[in-house]
Amino acid sequence: MKKLLSALLLMLLISGATELKSQIINPGERIPAGAIVYSLPVTSLHFVAEAACESFMAGPYARFAQKYLGVQAREDNYDNYRITSVEIIPYIEADPSVNIALNLGNNRNASANFLEMINQGLIMWSDSYAGKSEKMRYPDLKINSLFVKSMSTSNLTSEKTTLYRTVQTATGTERAAVQQSQVVEKSLEKRAEESANMIFRLRAKRLEIITGETDATFSGDALRAAIDEINRLEDEYLSLFFGKTRTTFQKMSFDVVPDVTNDKQIYIAFRLSETQGLLPSNNLSGRPIVLELVSERRAESLNMDMTSSKGRVIYRKPLLMNARLMDGQNMIMQSRVPVYQLGSTMSFPIEIATGRL
């Protein structure tokens, strides 16, 4: 009988030495010896947005279009940004506000269960960070050389000026006219007139080729190539009056971390300005692109034993949310994402044997 009591006492001492304990570490508290520290997961939403910028540059002869072509042309430049695509990527990170110390002891089941919960994402190492490759992209600088090749007419012209000089004659002194010629730069209106005349000559030549009223004979691929080249030249000269439009793309990334204290779960993901493009949420120059998180169901209210000192692991179960990205009344995209910090906090007896062991 005494041997049996001694054996039971020894088993209690051994089990007490390897007792599984966990505790929440408050700021400034010391971590118990032999304990590992883990945290609870939080979800951050990473947005990758792309916007197209339509840039219009007015032609240098725009103000003469009505005079020489009979059509009014736009004279001011403009930029117009619009969203072309948005991608949402949920990342799981460790909650920096929650640190839990856990002593697994020598229990094989506890170690296996803890690693399995790490793999499932229900708990995280306290220094875990999902990590994102940050890329920055700057919009192209505007250039004013779009019309250089089109303005290929001569830039110089000859002007004649009449001068007078005094000439001694038999009847006395007289003023004699002297013609002087000098090379000067053409005025902008003169160059616009020459370009307009070139446009009309190209149109006349194209009509001659199509109707066959020309000395040269065009047929098959030669006719098509000649017409295409005339069309190209006409477009280049017309762009001097009516301007050119080009499209560039801007790509930026933004992050939103849902807050459990936000009752409406409405956030400004980023902003869009029609003249400046994609902007962060704190830049009031653009209109807001709003993120709405709508729960598919209410968060479960479970009455569980959350006492950390009883060998239980505290973990989080995420809540599935419908993420809607809105531009005013227009919905840009919708996706389902699990958000851990909006879900339920639960506990699990870490020493229990599971079927995966």
Are the beta carbons of 307 and 297 closer than 8 angstroms? no
Are the beta carbons of 258 and 294 closer than 8 angstroms? no
Are the beta carbons of 348 and 20 closer than 8 angstroms? no
The predicted-structure confidence for 47-70, as pLDDT tens digits, reads as follows: 999 999 999 999 899 999 998 998
What pLDDT is attached to residue 315? Answer: 81
The pLDDT mean for the chain works out to 76
Q: Is the pLDDT of residue 210 over 70?
A: yes
How far is residue 188's CA from residue 223's CA, in Å, rounded to a whole number? 35
The predicted-structure confidence for 246-267, as pLDDT tens digits, reads as follows: 899 999 999 999 998 998 999 9
What pLDDT is attached to residue 287? Answer: 93
Q: Is 131 exposed, middle or buried (0-12, 13-18, 19+ CB in 10 A)?
A: exposed
How far is residue 63's CA from residue 74's CA, in Å, rounded to a whole number? 8
Are the beta carbons of 59 and 241 closer than 8 angstroms? yes
How far is residue 17's CA from residue 92's CA, in Å, rounded to a whole number? 35
The predicted-structure confidence for 3-46, as pLDDT tens digits, reads as follows: 433 433 333 333 333 454 556 776 667 766 667 777 888 899 99
What pLDDT is attached to residue 10? Answer: 35
- Going from N- to C-terminal start, the domains of the chain cover 19-143+247-349, 156-242
Give the containing element (helix H, strand E) for 333.
Answer: strand 330-349
Count the Cβ atoms, other than its own, within 10 Å of residue 145.
Answer: 6
